[in-house]
């Protein structure tokens, strides 16, 4: 694998780039200190990048996996039985980080495409075109959601507002532009943002390392605070919205997202703030009846034990669940590219997914 430093900071952050030959992923573990792009040439390298969180954020994981299949097909070149030839690559990518449902979604799209291609002369070229199209349509969805979310913020109040966000649901977590940060970008462009309050998001610090970095690049006014300051800030400041992304949305509207999201939804309800979840329909899993049925991803407890360069030895075991479930009844609105769902429930989610929904 080749390491390459980008010298130019682009106005719009790109976590995923198809170079024409390789998949270039921004190593998000090194941000904001270093901007290093790592070239990926095969599906195994892409699966490792997902497992190690070099690339993270549900839509970005799905897009990277789709390119992983395209890379695998190119290495194979020709086959009389493409499904068997790619079976191990599909399996390895699928198990890399299953909590982000966009991973399964993107691989399903690639599998469907493959099935329609049997007998085609250029399967690798067609699978690459499919991956590029998943990537491009994610950016398009983000722009649509940005506009829909911004309109909701404007409907509530025309003056600039304080908005809280959690984790990183920005350009880095997606094909580009972002889900929650897409809404914040659009709201800022419309003059609706006073200050964005960023939860640092322990233990991975996606808030302080990634969201703060993205907002600073676009000069969107923001303040960083520890996660445990959220209640105090909601009580003492005029914050109107909490806007977050999602890793998986259940058929009843429950939302699985980075640990701490549930706490923010409870706090928002208590303090009378609105709670918005922004996620493309590829994040909605109608096969999951309720959020509690999903297995919550647990990561290595070591992630908790570093304080700066010092490793703490707490003398007790550490426990590191990294996602939680926010019940639908704590959510004011789910924004998707297909439309918005206010006060989500099973019927409204089913309407949205069957295209009957109008916004």
CB of 218 to ligand MRU, least distance (A): 17
Sole window of 9-17, 54-62, 226-234, 235-243 interacting with ligand MRU (rule: CB under 6 A) = 54-62
Which residues from 197-236 bind ligand MRU, rule CB under 6 A?
Answer: 204, 206
CB 206 within 8 A of CB 233: no
Looking at 203, 207, 245, 253, which residue binds ligand MRU (CB under 6 A)? 245
CB 326 within 8 A of CB 291: yes
Asked whether residue 343 is marked as a ligand-binding residue, the answer is no
Residue nearest to ligand MRU (CB): 245
Phi and psi, residue 246, nearest 5°: -150, 150
- Number of helical H runs and strand E runs in the chain: 11, 17
For the purposes of burial, counting CB atoms within 10 Å of the CB of 319, is it exposed (0-12), middle (13-18) or buried (19 or more)? exposed
Residues in the interface with ligand MRU (CB under 6 A) total 17
Q: Report how far residue 85's alpha carbon sits from residue 131's, in angstroms, rounded to the nearest whole number.
A: 18
Asked whether residue 252 is marked as a ligand-binding residue, the answer is no
CB of 358 to ligand MRU, least distance (A): 25
> Is 135 strand, coil or helix?
helix
Query: For the chain, how big is the Rg over CA atoms in Å?
Result: 20
Asked whether residue 257 is marked as a ligand-binding residue, the answer is yes
End-to-end CA distance of the chain: 46
Note whether 175 binds ligand MRU by CB under 6 A: no
Check residue 207 and report its DSSP letter: I
Looking at 24, 31, 37, 57, which residue binds ligand MRU (CB under 6 A)? 57
Note whether 66 binds ligand MRU by CB under 6 A: no
Q: To the nearest 10°, the Cα dihedral for 137, 121, 19, 28?
A: 60
CB 158 within 8 A of CB 108: no
Asked whether residue 178 is marked as a ligand-binding residue, the answer is no
Phi-psi region of 205 (alpha: psi -120 to 50; beta: other; left: phi over 0): left
Asked whether residue 97 is marked as a ligand-binding residue, the answer is yes
Q: Report how far residue 178's alpha carbon sits from residue 185's, in angstroms, rounded to the nearest whole number.
A: 9
Asked whether residue 57 is marked as a ligand-binding residue, the answer is yes
Note whether 257 binds ligand MRU by CB under 6 A: yes
Q: Which is nearer to ligand MRU, 50 or 85 (CB)?
A: 50
Phi and psi, residue 268, nearest 5°: -65, -40
Asked whether residue 51 is marked as a ligand-binding residue, the answer is no
CB 16 within 8 A of CB 50: no
Sole window of 32-40, 114-122, 171-179, 345-353 interacting with ligand MRU (rule: CB under 6 A) = 171-179
CB of 233 to ligand MRU, least distance (A): 19
Sole window of 128-136, 165-173, 211-219, 339-347 interacting with ligand MRU (rule: CB under 6 A) = 165-173
CB 321 within 8 A of CB 130: no
Note whether 25 binds ligand MRU by CB under 6 A: no
Looking at 113, 185, 202, 258, which residue binds ligand MRU (CB under 6 A)? 258
Q: Tell me, yes or no, if 293 is annotated catalytic.
A: no
Note whether 56 binds ligand MRU by CB under 6 A: yes
CA quadruple 103, 105, 107, 109: dihedral sign: negative
Looking at 161, 162, 174, 326, which residue binds ligand MRU (CB under 6 A)? 174
Q: Residue numbers of the site for ligand MRU (CB under 6 A)? A: 56-59, 167, 169, 173-174, 179, 204, 206, 245-247, 257-258, 322
Positions at the binding site for substrate: 56-58, 97, 206, 257-258
Catalytic residue set: 247
Positions at the binding site: 56-58, 97, 206, 257-258
């Amino acid at each position: 694998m080749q390491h390459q430093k980008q010298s130019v900071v682009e106005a719009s952050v790109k976590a995923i780039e198809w170079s024409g030959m390789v998949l270039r992923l921004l190593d998000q573990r090194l941000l904001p200190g270093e901007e290093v792009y790592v070239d990926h040439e095969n599906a195994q390298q892409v699966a490792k990048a997902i497992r190690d969180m070099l690339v993270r954020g549900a839509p970005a994981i799905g897009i990277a996996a789709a390119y992983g299949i395209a890379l695998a097909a190119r290495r194979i070149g020709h086959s009389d039985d493409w499904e068997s030839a790619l079976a191990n690559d599909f399996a390895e990518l699928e198990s890399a980080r299953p909590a982000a449902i966009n991973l399964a979604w993107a691989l399903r799209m690639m599998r469907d495409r493959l099935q329609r291609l049997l007998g085609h002369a250029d399967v690798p070229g067609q699978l690459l075109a499919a991956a590029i199209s998943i990537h491009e349509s994610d950016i398009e969805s983000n722009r649509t959601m940005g506009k829909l979310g911004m309109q909701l913020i404007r409907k509530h109040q025309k003056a600039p507002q304080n908005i809280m966000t959690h984790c990183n649901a920005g350009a880095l977590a997606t094909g580009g532009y972002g889900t929650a940060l897409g809404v914040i970008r659009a709201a800022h462009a419309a003059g609706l943002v006073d200050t964005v309050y960023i939860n640092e998001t322990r233990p991975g610090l996606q808030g302080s390392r990634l969201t703060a970095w993205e907002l600073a690049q676009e000069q969107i006014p923001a303040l960083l605070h520890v996660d445990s300051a959220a209640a105090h800030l909601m009580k003492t400041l005029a914050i109107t919205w909490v806007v977050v992304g999602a890793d998986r949305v259940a058929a009843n509207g429950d939302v699985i997202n980075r640990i701490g999201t549930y706490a923010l939804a409870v706090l928002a309800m208590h303090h009378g703030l609105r709670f918005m979840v922004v996620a493309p329909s590829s994040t909605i899993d109608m096969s999951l009846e309720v959020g509690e049925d999903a297995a919550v991803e647990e990561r290595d407890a070591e992630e908790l034990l570093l304080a700066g360069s010092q490793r703490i030895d707490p003398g007790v075991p550490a426990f590191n669940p990294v996602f939680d479930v926010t019940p639908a009844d704590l959510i004011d609105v789910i924004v998707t590219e297909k439309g918005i769902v206010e006060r989500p429930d099973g019927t409204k989610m089913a309407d949205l997914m069957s295209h009957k929904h109008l916004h």
